[in-house]
Structure 1
């Protein structure tokens, strides 16, 4: 029959083993999430880059068409209006990119599970 000291030591070992297993599970989740996000970001960057190159050519051709159509009558106005439109579009895109960059999504599931673990242990979240 085990004594009280042996029971406490055994319970402590089980607790440490459970904490290590939980930590390992959370670490594996974080790594899996990181790898999925990395792959998604690479694909997004490649597609966005290719799309931007094609869009740049399309916009250039459209602006060239507008300037050629109005070459005889109002070429400077056509160039000015096209330039202003491009500046406005660039401003809108930069503002949108800043807004998207502020959104945090990386490892959200891992952080959620860690928060649940903290609450389950009885600690309050700061």
Structure 2
């Protein structure tokens, strides 16, 4: 027959269970964070490769289009054609730079991890208030 535990043993046992639960919860959250970081890294590499290839092809296309415009207006308005092409390119570049800056400010990194940590905090706070 097992001996009954005294109050001190029960407190120590409860503390050990609580510590084990906290460590397990922390480990699962850390694994989630690592997984999200790996997924984000892979997504960024793919985006950079596709964006780089797209920019190279786009710049060739724009170059050919600008060459066409300048050749068409070479006899009468070559300087005006070159100036208009340069102005349009500069305006588009400024617009894209502003859009890129806005996009960079949006935070999505580790969104699920932060959400789960917030839920954990709410559960702990509600259990603390009820006791």
Q: TM-score, normalised by structure 2?
A: 0.92
CA RMSD in angstroms comes to 0.8
Query: Is 2:68 aligned against 1:61?
Result: no
Deviation at 1:118, TM superposition (A): 1.1
Structure 2 residues without counterparts, runs of 5 or longer: 127-131
Which deviates the most, 12-21 or 2-11?
2-11
Partners of 1:45 and 1:24 lie apart in 2 by 31
Query: Is 2:91 aligned against 1:88?
Result: yes
Query: Is 2:120 aligned against 1:117?
Result: yes
Q: How many residues align?
A: 123
| Structure with larger Rg | 2
Structure 1 residues without counterparts, runs of 5 or longer: none
Per-residue deviation, residues 42-71 of structure 1 (Å, max 9, x unmatched): 000000000000000000000000000000
